[in-house]
Structure 1
Amino acid sequence: MVKWLNLFVTIAVFSSISDAYKILVIFPLPSRSHGILGVNVVNHLLQAGHEITYITPFPVKDPHPNLQQLDVSDNFDIMDDVKRIMNNEIDLSNPITMFQIIIDLFTKTVHDPNVVKVFNDTNQKFDAVVAEWMFIDSYAGIAAIFDCPLIWFSTVDPDWIVLSLIDESTNPAYVPDSLSSTIPPFSFEERVTGLFIQIVYSAFQYLYWDGVVEDSFRNVIGPYIIMRGKEIPSFYDVNYNVSLFLGNSHVSLGQPIRLPQNYIPIGGYHIETKVKPLPNDLQKLLDSAKNGLIYFSLGSNLKSKDLPDNLKFGFLKIFSELKQTVLWKFEEAIPDLPKNVHIVSWAPQSSILAHPNCILFITHGGMLSTTETVHFGKPIIGIPVFGDQFINIERAVNRGFAIKVTLSYTMLDEFKAAIDEVLSNPKYKNKAKELSAIYHDRPTPPAKELVHWVEHVIRTGGAPHLRSPALHVPFYKKYYLDLLALIVAIILVLLVAVKLLLRVFRTNKKDLKKKNK
């Protein structure tokens, strides 16, 4: 009898642990790197047995049976604005213009017919919403539609804007902004700049942005809440009802800053723990690269074939003078290649970087590529082109495992000098190996952390035990302004009292003198 009871308890425990949850995952930005991050969140949750509804502009072919995809590929229309930015047709000196694009993306996503169909279904239920945070909090309202916990996902290192949604803002005296590549200790100028940026953005947020975001929440999300027979809640309550923040970060990739209990760094979760085998031709190429192999890729946004001819042929000349083998991700055939140079239109980047004969990665510096270089412990030469690539490469340079080369028509001499420096100076390789060891020295792989904490939030009803009390402490209490006011009031009362006493004393003294006369 006892044996059967133990078996029943064991089955019950394991069945409760392996409950399948229904999770809505939202990664609406039409950027390939963000799509990779999103689909890997989805894949890990699917592998754990959960049912996923995925809002994405990058739907996968032959989806998992537990995956429902809501295709928002019309979001690519927003990229027209990005092209206009690059052509200087949109003035980014006015921040309102850039933030309007973010609002438009949110509105376009929620109004997409594929999304509307699901949101209009009042019987639809979710156990949690996992949404990418991109400078707009309106997506938090989606969790309010379905009365379920909200989990934000951040693609960048934790900074004061992100952390202020779940705790306190960081101190700009020693914590860099997400758009800064500086490393503490800061100079006086860097500290003042960080403080100025934080004050200006906070003022912009308070005076303008919060109102715009709240309006978008009420106008775009509000009708779905009313449809379910509920009143539209306060946006403050919705915005700060965050259960967890998952961050594509790790201390080996960024800074060792103070983090609240409900911020979980899972940087590198998108990299498979078991490296896929290389195709036969690439396996032979890397195996035979006795002097090492240099891998060169500019990512998916900038194609190598679109480089000016003087750069393409200049690179080839530089490569031809090396004893190392060079593998260049190039989108078209090149005649008369040097013997040590090989091109591929597509390359399994992780599998190449994992090979011990790969000794240098020449990269554009995207957030995924820089994470993979630390994961595999490879030094890099960075040629940033767009967006956060400049910050990523600057940070890698400051960490000591990278050299930055500026993309220009006259970059060839700088490019050759960078290759010679990395190949001849072991400090870059050693630093990359050191950071890689730190990166891998974790009690749990980041993918397992991701799944565990999403499940933990659902199992514990939104994980209220992890939430910081700092969110609900008014500004004046947090900085003891009430105590300061009390001290000032006491001092003023004492000053007034002393002044009155002195006046009374002088009056009495004068009266005494008159009597004596």
Structure 2
Amino acid sequence: MKLPIAVLLATLCLQVGDSFRIMVVFPLPGKSHTILGDGIVRHLAAAGHEITYVTPSPRKIGPKNVRYIDVSENYKNFPTDTMNLKHFMESEPMDTKFVLETMLKFHNETYHCPNVREIFFDPNQQFDLVIVEWMFSELNAGFGAILGAPFIWVSTTEPHWLVLRLIDEASNPAFSADIMGSGLPPFSFKERVSQLFTQIFVRGLKFMDSSEGKIYSSLAPYFKARGRDQPPLQEIAFNASLMFGNSHVSLGQAVTLPESYKAIGGYHIDSKLPPIPEDLQKVLDNAKHGVIYFSMGSNLKSKDLPDELKKSLLKMFAELKYTVIWKFEEVLPGVPDNVHIIQWAPQTSILDHPKCVLFITHGGHLSTTETVHFGKPIIGIPVFADQFINVDRAVAKGFAKRVDLSMTMADKLKVAINEILQDPKFTAKVKELSFIYHDRPATPGAELVHWAEHVIKTRGAPHLRSPALDVPFYQKMYLDLLALIVAVLLVIRTAVLRIFKKKPSKKQKTQ
């Protein structure tokens, strides 16, 4: 009887000894970003760590070892006037400059939120690790620097040049696509030039814009309160211990990655799926020919579609033999018998149901991850940001069709539905990718916890740091060697010219 008690006490002591204080920072006011932040917190809290979670969507009731820091004021900077389907149909695609400016507003608001300031001004609040979301700005690196803790970047998409440059070097534009663009390698000459120009243009935008530097300068009182000097932003931005990537090779491409990049795509999917409401469960169970699930995500709302397009979609769905579940945010008149409107959908549970045969999606990264996780083909209707490249990748991998958002897309959507559901190769391909996705040595959640603890236990994991970060640009490009070669050639040219200039001609000698 004494031995089990001793073992129990030893186990409890071990758990207490391995419990760390971790801050998780996901300040963007979007449902998908909150889902990703919640996933990190869920795994770390389950591992017994003490979590401080900076979020615009705090829970009223959460785990006892999670403290929520409310930054819901960030919602006032959410561009609701432009983030709707009708706007995207009538306007030009969202440009990079707008994205950069919007992200800076969110980060600035977060740093100066009273709830966050309270933590910074209290030196007694110490942390072993900070995990921060990267979103088109390096400002969040300041959390680790202010608190004096190692930090981990979280990249919410597949790896791309903007994030890889922070832990190694930017990926080559000749064979890697920009996350905000469209198209996949191999590129044509025109596409390669376009990808190169994009990198140069975005670098130029970030270099010329002084807003990021001004916001960082305003953080000086926080460093002073902690008794620390404020290092340059360019220094701390490239000082992350590692990067968590919400990615996996089954979803993206087999790109070159440094040791400090850890792919944990799919970690947000809870092994315990949410329950399906009874009425919806009946719809799924009784679908004779299968269910098509249609959702434009959490930020984009189907209710914002033009009325004419709504009617054409309902008319097209009525002609199908399949049952359609459409996530729609308001009451919709004239709904045919085979179409079921729901304002909230337990998406992962629907995709997991055996009667679900097709997912019509906007192509958000979480949705495309979930469709591979559950092995369901998709039709992608990309609207903005990374949705275009996500859908293009799915099409290239063979489990998707792309239909562009337009007033006349109903007919094209019907053609795509019939092509996918009448040809078994689409489902077979996504099942194959689903196997690759799941065939890992550890679950993404376990990977997340392991590497977070590894960074703490190794005091920032300096052994994972890429040497590329310590090599100046001119040395990487061998510009110093080029300068030396040019200088030597100029010296040789000058010497040769002087020799021939001083040498007298034969005519001068005879005189």
| Global fold match (TM > 0.5) | yes
User: Taking structure 1 as reference, are residues 288 and 94 closer, same or farther at Cα in structure 2, changes over 3 Å only?
Assistant: closer
**1:274 Cα offset (Å):** 4.3
Q: Name the structure 1 match of 2:408.
A: 410
SS for the counterpart of 1:114 is: helix
Residues 14-42 of structure 1, C-alpha deviations (whole Å, 9 max, x = no match): 82796111111111111111111111111
Inter-CA distance 212–307: structure 2 relative to 1 (3 Å threshold): closer
Deviation at 1:472, TM superposition (A): 1.3
Give the aligned partner of residue 263 of structure 1: 261
Q: Distance in 2 between matches of 1:388 and 1:94?
A: 12
2:54 maps to what in 1?
55
Alignment of 1:174-253 (within 5 A): 174-206=175-207, 208-209=208-209, 211-219=210-218, 221-253=219-251
Please state whether the residue corresponding to 2:241 is helix, strand or coil: strand
1:368, CA displacement in angstroms?
Answer: 1.2
Partner Cα distance (1:13, 1:469) in 2: 40
Residue pair 2:26, 2:55 contacting (<8 A) in 1 also: yes
Distance 1:342 1:499 in 2: 86
Partner in structure 2 of residue 130 of structure 1? 131
Give the structure 2 partner of residue 470 of structure 1: 468
CA deviations on 1:202-241 (whole Å, 9 max, x unpaired) are 22333x13x432332121x211111122222233322221
What is the deviation of 1:411?
A: 2.4
1:295 to 293, 296, 319: 293
Question: What runs of 5+ residues in structure 2 fail to find an aligned partner?
Answer: none
Counterpart of 1:353 in structure 2 is 351
Higher gyration radius (CA): 1
CA distance in structure 1 between the aligned counterparts of 2:360 and 2:48, rounded to whole angstroms: 38
Following superposition, the deviation at residue 93 of structure 1 comes to: 8.7
Aligned partner (choices 273, 282, 285) of residue 283 of structure 2: 285
Amino acid corresponding to residue 458 of structure 2 in structure 1: T
| Aligned residues of 2:146 and 2:228 also touching (Cα < 8 A) | no
Q: What is the distance in 1 between the residues matched to 2:404 and 2:324? A: 21
Mapped to 1, the partners of 2:181 and 2:381 lie a distance apart of 18
Q: Is the 8 A contact 1:400 1:428 kept in 2?
A: yes
CA deviation map 1:139-188 (0-9, x unaligned): 11111111110111111221111111111111111111111232111111
Worse overlay, 58-67 or 495-504: 495-504
1:194 partner amino acid: Q
- Looking at structure 1, the residues matched to 462 and 37 of structure 2 have their Cα atoms a distance apart, in angstroms, of 25
- Quote how far apart the aligned CAs of 1:377 are: 1.4
Aligned-residue offset at 1:249: 1.2
Cα separation, partners in 2 of 1:12 and 1:32, compared to 1, 3 Å? closer
Question: Is the Cα contact below 8 Å between 2:83 and 2:299 reproduced in 1?
Answer: no
The 3-state SS of whatever aligns with 1:83 is coil
Equivalent residue for 2:64? 65
Q: Which residue of 2 aligns with 1:153?
A: 154
* Shift in Å, 1:398: 3.0
- Which residues of 2 match residues 447-486 of structure 1 at below 5 A? 447-486=445-484
- The alignment partner of 1:189 has SS state of helix
**Aligned-residue offset at 1:11:** 4.6
Residue in structure 1 matched with residue 42 of structure 2 by the alignment = 43
CA shift for structure 1 position 314: 3.3
Letter in 1 for 2:74: N
Which residue is equivalent to 1:104? 105
Q: Distance in 2 between matches of 1:321 and 1:96?
A: 43
SS at match of 1:422: helix
SS at 2:81's partner residue?
Answer: helix
Cα deviation, residue 54, structure 1: 0.8
Could you tell me how far apart the structure 1 residues matched to 2:12 and 2:256 are? 35
Instruction: Give how far 1:199 is off.
Output: 1.6
Deviations 1:109-148 (Å, cap 9, x if unpaired)? 1111111122211211011111111111111111111111
State how far apart, in whole Å, the 2-side matches of 1:434 and 1:182 are. Answer: 23
Instruction: Say whether the 8 Å CA contact 1:374–1:436 is kept in structure 2.
Output: yes
Indicate whether 1:77 and 2:73 are aligned. no
In structure 2, what is the equivalent of residue 163 of structure 1?
A: 164
Q: Distance in 1 between matches of 2:175 and 2:103?
A: 29
Once residues 102 and 330 of structure 2 are traced to their aligned partners in structure 1, the CA distance between those partners, rounded to angstroms, is 34
Change (3 A) 1:92 1:414: closer
Tell me which residue corresponds to 1:322: 320
In structure 2, distance between residues paired with 1:485 and 1:313: 66
Does the 8 A contact of 1:45 with 1:52 survive in 2? yes
Change (3 A) 1:93 1:264: closer
Letter in 1 for 2:63: H
Cα distance change on mapping 1:300 and 1:486 into 2, 3 Å: closer
Post-superposition offset of 1:406: 3.0
Distance 1:402 1:499 in 2: 66
2:121–2:226: 8 Å Cα contact kept in structure 1? no
- Is 1:371 the equivalent of 2:369? yes
Q: In the superposition, relative to structure 1, how do residues 360 and 115 fare at CA in structure 2: closer, same or farther (>3 Å)? A: same
Structure 1 position 195, deviation (Å):
0.8
1:21 — aligned with what?
20
Give, in whole Å, the separation in 1 of the partners of 2:310 and 2:92.
32
> Partners in 2 of 1:295 and 1:351 — Cα distance?
11
User: Which has the larger displacement, 264-273 or 391-400?
Assistant: 391-400
Residue 85 of structure 1 contacts residue 92 of structure 1 at CA under 8 Å; is this kept in 2? no
Q: Choose 482-491 or 40-49, whichever is displaced more.
A: 482-491
Q: Does the residue aligned with 1:403 lie in a helix, a strand or coil?
A: strand
Deviations 1:430-449 (A, max 9, x none): 22222222211211111111
Q: Aligned pairs, how many?
A: 503
> Distance between the aligned counterparts of 1:355 and 1:432, measured in 2?
15
Residues 367 and 93 of structure 1: is their aligned pair in 2 closer, same or farther, counting only changes over 3 Å?
closer
Equivalents in 2 of 1:42, 1:184: separation in Å?
36
Counterpart mapping for 1:109-124 below 5 A? 109-124=110-125
Secondary structure of 1:141 counterpart: helix
Change (3 A) 1:13 1:333: closer
**d(CA) in 1 for partners of 2:230 and 2:23?**
21
Contact conserved, 2:94 with 2:384, CA < 8 A, in 1? no
The CA RMSD measured in Å over matched residues stands at 3.0
3-state SS in 2 of match to 1:375: helix
Partner amino acid for 2:42? Answer: N
| SS of corresponding position for 2:213 | helix
- Secondary structure at the aligned position of 1:201 is classed as helix
Q: Deviations over 1:367-410 (max 9, x none)?
A: 21111111111111223344433333233223322222233333
Report if aligned partners of 2:147, 2:226 keep a CA contact under 8 Å in 1. Answer: no
CA distance in 1, matches of 2:74, 2:367: 24
Instruction: Give per-residue Cα distances to partners, 1:331-373, cap 9 Å, x unaligned.
Output: 4555775443333332211111112221111122222111111
Are the aligned partners of 2:96 and 2:202 in contact in 1 as well (CA < 8 Å)?
Answer: no
State the secondary structure of the residue aligned to 1:28.
coil
Query: Is there any run of 5+ residues in structure 1 with no aligned partner, and where?
Result: none
